[in-house]
Structure 1
């Protein structure tokens, strides 16, 4: 059959292309050696010293530089957007960057209501700030708890803290029938203008970042083992200290001395060509053809690749010229090779399908009995005769083609 000769022809890390029925093997990019036996990775020659494309950093504000394959690449910090080479920005810096129904919290536009109002209270956002109200039929401090307003109970003593005059993020305490206002824990300012320590990092010192509305050092837990962290414009910048290299976000390794010179191998890459083997003798390459290949390096080749390269009584099988007859014919059949193809015929005194098996012709007394249109067979070579309604019909054997009355042939 006509088949792709590539499978199994090339070594590891090699690619194969078929040119004029012959497989051609080539090492993949970054690999060298004999592609027919196996390619190996090209060893990188150490340079005078590793470049540090990220020191100094080419990145803009709120961007980090990572080294990949000797080149620096800038990318925005998580939850920052824009061009990392000119500067990245958060989703928002101040409340005015958000819709009037949202507040800028941790550089993101969010609903400021969750967790602000008390039980049964309703929250409305007015000009970026949350305001708490007790719904109709309820009364109380909306920042603490609203309860159902009694209908028949006598009016309780007035509470100067209901409703609260203190504003958002504050707490009210009645003292001598007067409201005393103070900011809630972790909030700064003076009521009614209480606010968190920060909403965006720009409200913190340069070496701090706004995390959970507080100005803290963003470095702890950011860099990898042996990494060095510096805060630049509120953002943590990781780098490996002098004498170390690696990914500062994962781990920095101490630099190793350059490896000693390795003696060269005259057989790497192989000068012998395809289908050959190289042996080092006295620091000199000695080339020879692989087993089952003929010729002289660098022109080693298989004995054959197609039938036409073999004598007419042989066929090309697994790149060797061999007799195709063994195993081709059935029992009591003889085989001859014609034009590289096995031809099977029943031996004298036998009949049947010579490719499946012949059987002895039964001796019968001539009578005027029924005719046997298939004896003798009217069919050509590689065809069988089958009787249908007293008439003979010829057809080619499986995997043979042509006119069954003159002779069938294999595919190739």
Structure 2
């Protein structure tokens, strides 16, 4: 009863005009629930075992199936979904196969702050300029100890931490007082350090102040 008047409804599984006749089954898709469709007067599930290809995803739009191959698979979603790759050679040269998908190895191969390059599916990790460390684990800014130990300069030369024109840390090589020469190769001992070391008619050129400098990147 509704407001004192009788109310008629077709029972579950039947359709039609409840004031006239309720029939079993269906006439059209809208007689079925949203994920079912009408076939030969019967409501059937839209996404049955044979609707889409094996392994494909099935969704329903307006009582009709929408088949899609899942991520990492490709092909005709109604007939066959194939893995994107089985081996790295199935991927582009800067990708590797992480079955069933081609992925960028730089997302997981190198350490923190390291540079990553991929060539022919192979990854190379390196620390950027001005940094050092294990590129597979972590790169860190260079210190004076990193720059000068072991000493990259020539024989008898002194190594100090400096910066290049771009502001990156570099090792600077110089000849110490009393030595002269090319600090990247060898500093040779001079004859004097000050004028008093020379005879009265000679002067001492102070190699420690007027020195040649070299830098090691």
TM-score normalised over the length of structure 1: 0.22
Larger C-alpha radius of gyration, 1 or 2?
A: 1
Write 1 or 2 for the structure with the bigger share of helix.
2
Q: Which has the higher contact order (CA 8 A, sep 6+)?
A: 2
